[in-house]
Amino acid sequence: MTINWSVNTHEHLASTQDTLKEMVAVNGAYSISEGTVIHAIQQDSGRGRHGRVWESELVNLTFSFIIKPNCDISNIGQIAILCGLSISNAVVETISENYKCVLKWPNDILINDRKCSGILIDAAPAEHNKVPYFIIGVGINVTSSPLAEATCLKNHTDDIIDPEKFMKDVLSSFSDIYTQWKSDGFDDVRSKWIEKTYNIGREVSVKIGSNHVKGYFHSIDTYGNLVIICAKEDKKIKITSGEVFLL
């Protein structure tokens, strides 16, 4: 069954992620349907991964949505992979074919090596090893890039991009991939993600908390974890959470 999206657009919010989290905290998750989307035309205090700030401007896209897969706790990493793949599908449809859109583990989307979109995932506490819901926040640089080292979709097409139409494309792509994942499992999603990642075989440093692990990017495993070959010990290491830097 595909997701029945219900989009609530606000002119101005501090953070779509916090607004949706608060709705769930106040009303209970059972009263917020899967597919509820909170979209802000202007977001002032966006949260990014690793406690960072996500800067956005009026011309860009910020939204959060809730899904209720009730999946096993061990599959949490697969959700990040589903999200990255769905946004990259919408990006590829939007930008010119002269540019390459690639995925960086766990869920960044890059065009020509620069980030154009980020995803923040808040998982509900597990109940009997099952995660009842996830709140997924998406920030996409559509027409401007607040950080000099990042990029935006507009830099890679001559077409005019309507942010709300783009959001619908992302949601529709997510719904297709999510539905397939629920019925057929992770294998196909995993292969498609691996086809679109950019750094297989390249030397990376992964920041895990305050430590760095160096190695060569190998793959992602069947749970969506990063697998690197550790240069020092010549063995494979599985990483569930961290930040990847190319060396």
Region class of 246: left (phi > 0), else alpha (psi between -120 and 50), else beta: beta
Helices (H), 114-219: 163-184, 187-196
Min dist. Cβ of residue 85 to ligand BTN (A): 16
Burial of residue 50 (CB within 10 Å: 0-12, 13-18, 19+) is: exposed
Answer yes or no: are the C-beta atoms of 194 and 219 closer than 8 Å: yes
DSSP code, position 143: S
Q: Which is nearer to ligand BTN, 63 or 193 (CB)?
A: 63
- Give the range of 45-53, 150-158, 165-173, 174-182 binding ligand BTN by CB under 6 A: 45-53
Residues 100-159 touching ligand BTN, rule: CB under 6 A, are 118-120, 137-139
Residues 1-20 touching ligand BTN, rule: CB under 6 A, are 15-17
The answer to whether 242 contacts ligand BTN (rule: CB under 6 A) is: no
Q: For ligand BTN, which residue has the nearest CB?
A: 118
The answer to whether 49 contacts ligand BTN (rule: CB under 6 A) is: yes
Pairing of strands 36-43, 6-13: parallel
Q: Which is nearer to ligand BTN, 115 or 156 (CB)?
A: 115
Binding residues for ligand BTN, total number by CB under 6 A: 18
Please give the full DSSP string across 60-126, using - where no structure is assigned.
Answer: SEEEEEEE---EEGGGHHHHHHHHHHHHHHHHHHHS-TTS-EEEETTTEEEETTEEEEEEEEEEPPP
Q: Which is nearer to ligand BTN, 120 or 204 (CB)?
A: 120
The answer to whether 64 contacts ligand BTN (rule: CB under 6 A) is: yes
- CA distance between the termini of the chain: 43
Find, among 71, 86, 89, the residue nearest to 182 by Cα.
71
Burial of residue 19 (CB within 10 Å: 0-12, 13-18, 19+) is: middle
Single residue of 47, 104, 154, 156 touching ligand BTN by CB under 6 A: 47
Q: Which is nearer to ligand BTN, 131 or 170 (CB)?
A: 170
The answer to whether 54 contacts ligand BTN (rule: CB under 6 A) is: yes
Min dist. Cβ of residue 140 to ligand BTN (A): 8
The answer to whether 192 contacts ligand BTN (rule: CB under 6 A) is: no
Answer yes or no: are the C-beta atoms of 17 and 64 closer than 8 Å: yes
Min dist. Cβ of residue 67 to ligand BTN (A): 15
The answer to whether 163 contacts ligand BTN (rule: CB under 6 A) is: no
What are the residues binding ligand BTN (CB under 6 A)?
A: 15-17, 46-49, 52, 54, 62-64, 118-120, 137-139
